[in-house]
Copies of this chain bind each other. A is one copy, B any other.
Amino acid sequence: MLPAPFDILPETAYRVLNLDAGETLFRQGDPTRGIFYLITGRVRLVRFARSGETVVIHRAGPLETFAEASLFVDVYHCDAILEQAAQLVELRREPLLRQFYSDPLFAMALTSRFATQVQTYRRRLELLAVRSAQERVFAALSEGFLTGDIKTFATEIGLSHEATYRALSHLVRRGRLVKTGRGKYRVKTT
Protein backbone atom coordinates (compact mmCIF):
# COMPACT_ATOMS: atom_id res chain seq x y z
CA MET A 1 0.00 0.00 0.00
CA LEU A 2 2.78 2.42 0.87
CA PRO A 3 5.70 3.21 -1.43
CA ALA A 4 9.28 2.41 -0.36
CA PRO A 5 10.73 3.08 2.12
CA PHE A 6 7.52 3.63 4.08
CA ASP A 7 6.38 0.04 3.55
CA ILE A 8 8.67 -1.23 6.31
CA LEU A 9 7.13 1.01 8.98
CA PRO A 10 5.09 -0.60 11.75
CA GLU A 11 1.35 -0.07 11.62
CA THR A 12 1.52 2.27 14.58
CA ALA A 13 3.57 4.69 12.50
CA TYR A 14 0.66 5.68 10.28
CA ARG A 15 -3.07 5.89 9.96
CA VAL A 16 -5.47 6.12 7.05
CA LEU A 17 -7.69 9.17 6.72
CA ASN A 18 -10.76 9.81 4.63
CA LEU A 19 -11.57 13.43 3.97
CA ASP A 20 -14.20 15.24 1.93
CA ALA A 21 -13.66 17.96 -0.63
CA GLY A 22 -13.22 21.34 1.03
CA GLU A 23 -11.94 19.97 4.32
CA THR A 24 -8.68 21.20 5.78
CA LEU A 25 -5.91 18.72 6.53
CA PHE A 26 -3.64 21.19 8.28
CA ARG A 27 -3.08 24.92 8.53
CA GLN A 28 -0.10 27.20 8.42
CA GLY A 29 1.21 27.37 12.00
CA ASP A 30 -0.19 24.00 13.11
CA PRO A 31 2.36 21.78 14.85
CA THR A 32 3.65 19.27 12.31
CA ARG A 33 2.03 15.85 12.67
CA GLY A 34 3.79 14.11 9.80
CA ILE A 35 3.94 13.75 6.06
CA PHE A 36 1.18 12.42 3.84
CA TYR A 37 0.71 9.89 1.12
CA LEU A 38 -2.25 10.36 -1.15
CA ILE A 39 -4.03 7.20 -2.28
CA THR A 40 -6.85 8.88 -4.17
CA GLY A 41 -8.10 12.42 -4.56
CA ARG A 42 -6.39 15.76 -4.73
CA VAL A 43 -4.95 18.13 -2.13
CA ARG A 44 -4.02 21.75 -2.65
CA LEU A 45 -1.21 23.38 -0.67
CA VAL A 46 -1.71 27.11 -0.26
CA ARG A 47 0.46 29.77 1.29
CA PHE A 48 -0.67 33.22 2.31
CA ALA A 49 1.89 35.80 1.27
CA ARG A 50 2.54 39.03 3.18
CA SER A 51 0.63 40.98 0.54
CA GLY A 52 -2.47 39.06 1.55
CA GLU A 53 -2.50 37.12 -1.71
CA THR A 54 -2.93 33.38 -1.60
CA VAL A 55 -0.48 31.38 -3.69
CA VAL A 56 -0.95 27.73 -4.62
CA ILE A 57 2.44 26.15 -4.02
CA HIS A 58 1.53 22.59 -4.93
CA ARG A 59 -1.30 20.34 -6.01
CA ALA A 60 -0.76 16.75 -4.93
CA GLY A 61 -2.41 13.92 -6.82
CA PRO A 62 -2.88 10.16 -6.38
CA LEU A 63 0.16 8.11 -5.31
CA GLU A 64 2.12 11.21 -4.32
CA THR A 65 3.58 12.17 -0.97
CA PHE A 66 3.52 15.76 0.22
CA ALA A 67 4.63 17.97 3.12
CA GLU A 68 7.93 16.09 3.29
CA ALA A 69 9.85 19.16 4.45
CA SER A 70 7.57 19.38 7.49
CA LEU A 71 9.52 16.48 8.96
CA PHE A 72 12.30 18.87 9.82
CA VAL A 73 10.38 21.86 11.12
CA ASP A 74 7.97 22.44 14.00
CA VAL A 75 4.99 23.93 12.23
CA TYR A 76 3.46 23.66 8.78
CA HIS A 77 4.22 26.56 6.47
CA CYS A 78 1.14 26.26 4.32
CA ASP A 79 -2.49 25.18 4.39
CA ALA A 80 -3.53 21.81 2.98
CA ILE A 81 -7.05 21.86 1.60
CA LEU A 82 -8.90 19.00 -0.03
CA GLU A 83 -9.65 19.88 -3.63
CA GLN A 84 -11.36 16.53 -4.07
CA ALA A 85 -12.40 13.96 -1.52
CA ALA A 86 -9.37 11.87 -0.73
CA GLN A 87 -8.12 8.78 0.97
CA LEU A 88 -4.69 9.39 2.39
CA VAL A 89 -2.14 8.06 4.82
CA GLU A 90 -0.71 10.18 7.59
CA LEU A 91 2.86 9.07 8.25
CA ARG A 92 3.45 10.18 11.81
CA ARG A 93 6.43 12.38 12.48
CA GLU A 94 7.87 10.84 15.66
CA PRO A 95 8.00 7.23 14.46
CA LEU A 96 9.45 8.43 11.16
CA LEU A 97 12.21 10.39 12.85
CA ARG A 98 12.88 7.55 15.26
CA GLN A 99 13.22 5.11 12.40
CA PHE A 100 15.44 7.58 10.59
CA TYR A 101 17.81 7.82 13.57
CA SER A 102 17.95 4.14 14.41
CA ASP A 103 17.95 2.63 10.93
CA PRO A 104 20.57 4.01 8.51
CA LEU A 105 19.17 1.93 5.68
CA PHE A 106 15.78 3.54 6.12
CA ALA A 107 17.47 6.92 6.26
CA MET A 108 19.32 6.17 3.04
CA ALA A 109 16.21 4.94 1.28
CA LEU A 110 14.27 8.04 2.32
CA THR A 111 17.05 10.34 1.15
CA SER A 112 17.32 8.41 -2.07
CA ARG A 113 13.59 8.86 -2.63
CA PHE A 114 13.90 12.60 -2.19
CA ALA A 115 16.96 12.79 -4.45
CA THR A 116 15.09 10.91 -7.15
CA GLN A 117 12.19 13.30 -6.84
CA VAL A 118 14.51 16.27 -7.18
CA GLN A 119 15.83 14.71 -10.36
CA THR A 120 12.34 14.12 -11.75
CA TYR A 121 11.25 17.68 -11.06
CA ARG A 122 14.39 19.03 -12.70
CA ARG A 123 13.62 16.98 -15.80
CA ARG A 124 10.12 18.37 -15.92
CA LEU A 125 11.37 21.92 -15.49
CA GLU A 126 13.89 21.44 -18.26
CA LEU A 127 11.10 20.07 -20.42
CA LEU A 128 8.97 23.13 -19.75
CA ALA A 129 11.85 25.31 -20.92
CA VAL A 130 11.42 23.90 -24.44
CA ARG A 131 9.40 26.54 -26.28
CA SER A 132 8.04 24.65 -29.26
CA ALA A 133 5.07 22.40 -28.53
CA GLN A 134 6.27 19.76 -30.97
CA GLU A 135 9.77 19.60 -29.54
CA ARG A 136 8.43 19.52 -26.00
CA VAL A 137 6.01 16.71 -26.74
CA PHE A 138 8.74 14.78 -28.50
CA ALA A 139 11.20 15.23 -25.64
CA ALA A 140 8.57 14.31 -23.07
CA LEU A 141 7.75 11.17 -24.99
CA SER A 142 11.42 10.21 -25.28
CA GLU A 143 11.68 10.55 -21.55
CA GLY A 144 8.75 8.28 -20.96
CA PHE A 145 6.33 10.83 -19.57
CA LEU A 146 3.36 9.39 -21.46
CA THR A 147 2.20 6.66 -19.09
CA GLY A 148 -1.48 7.35 -18.52
CA ASP A 149 -3.84 9.29 -20.77
CA ILE A 150 -3.02 12.15 -23.09
CA LYS A 151 -4.83 14.83 -21.09
CA THR A 152 -2.76 14.08 -17.99
CA PHE A 153 0.34 14.04 -20.16
CA ALA A 154 -0.63 17.42 -21.63
CA THR A 155 -1.08 18.98 -18.19
CA GLU A 156 2.24 17.61 -16.97
CA ILE A 157 4.14 19.17 -19.84
CA GLY A 158 2.27 22.47 -19.63
CA LEU A 159 0.28 22.34 -22.86
CA SER A 160 -3.42 22.32 -23.65
CA HIS A 161 -4.59 18.88 -24.67
CA GLU A 162 -5.54 20.20 -28.11
CA ALA A 163 -2.03 21.49 -28.71
CA THR A 164 -0.69 18.16 -27.53
CA TYR A 165 -2.92 16.13 -29.88
CA ARG A 166 -1.90 18.37 -32.73
CA ALA A 167 1.79 18.10 -31.93
CA LEU A 168 1.46 14.32 -31.71
CA SER A 169 -0.22 13.91 -35.09
CA HIS A 170 2.20 16.36 -36.65
CA LEU A 171 5.15 14.38 -35.30
CA VAL A 172 3.61 11.18 -36.64
CA ARG A 173 3.14 12.79 -40.08
CA ARG A 174 6.76 13.93 -40.01
CA GLY A 175 7.81 10.39 -39.19
CA ARG A 176 9.35 11.12 -35.80
CA LEU A 177 6.72 9.18 -33.86
CA VAL A 178 4.80 5.98 -34.42
CA LYS A 179 1.16 5.74 -33.46
CA THR A 180 0.63 2.34 -31.90
CA GLY A 181 -3.03 2.77 -31.11
CA ARG A 182 -5.66 5.23 -30.01
CA GLY A 183 -3.82 7.53 -27.61
CA LYS A 184 -0.66 5.40 -27.86
CA TYR A 185 2.53 6.81 -29.32
CA ARG A 186 6.14 5.73 -29.43
CA VAL A 187 9.36 7.40 -30.51
CA LYS A 188 10.49 6.04 -33.86
CA THR A 189 13.71 4.11 -33.44
CA THR A 190 15.77 4.85 -36.50
Q: Does A53 contact B (CB under 8 A)?
A: yes
Within 8 A of B (CB), among A111-161: 111-112, 114-119, 121-126, 128-129, 138-139, 142-143, 155, 158
Decide yes or no: A69 and B115 within 8 Å by CB, A107-B107, A122-B57 being known contacts. yes
Residues of B within 8 A of A114 (CB): 111, 114-115, 117-118
B-contact bits for A87-116, CB 8 A (1 contact / 0 none): 000000000000011001001101110111
| Residue of A57, A108, A143, A155 with most chain B CB atoms under a 10 A cut-off | A57
Q: Does A190 contact B (CB under 8 A)?
A: yes
Q: Is the CB of B190 within 8 A of A51?
A: yes
Q: Does A174 contact B (CB under 8 A)?
A: no
Q: Is the CB of B110 within 8 A of A100?
A: no
Q: Does A59 contact B (CB under 8 A)?
A: yes
The answer for the CA separation of A139 and B101 in the assembled complex, in Å, is 38
**In angstroms, how far is the closest chain B Cβ from the Cβ of A146?**
13
Q: Is the CB of B128 within 8 A of A55?
A: no
- 17 A-B contact pairs sorted by A residue (CB < 8 Å): A51-B189, A52-B190, A53-B138, A53-B187, A55-B143, A57-B126, A57-B143, A58-B123, A59-B126, A68-B115, A72-B108, A100-B111, A111-B114, A114-B114, A118-B118, A124-B125, A129-B155
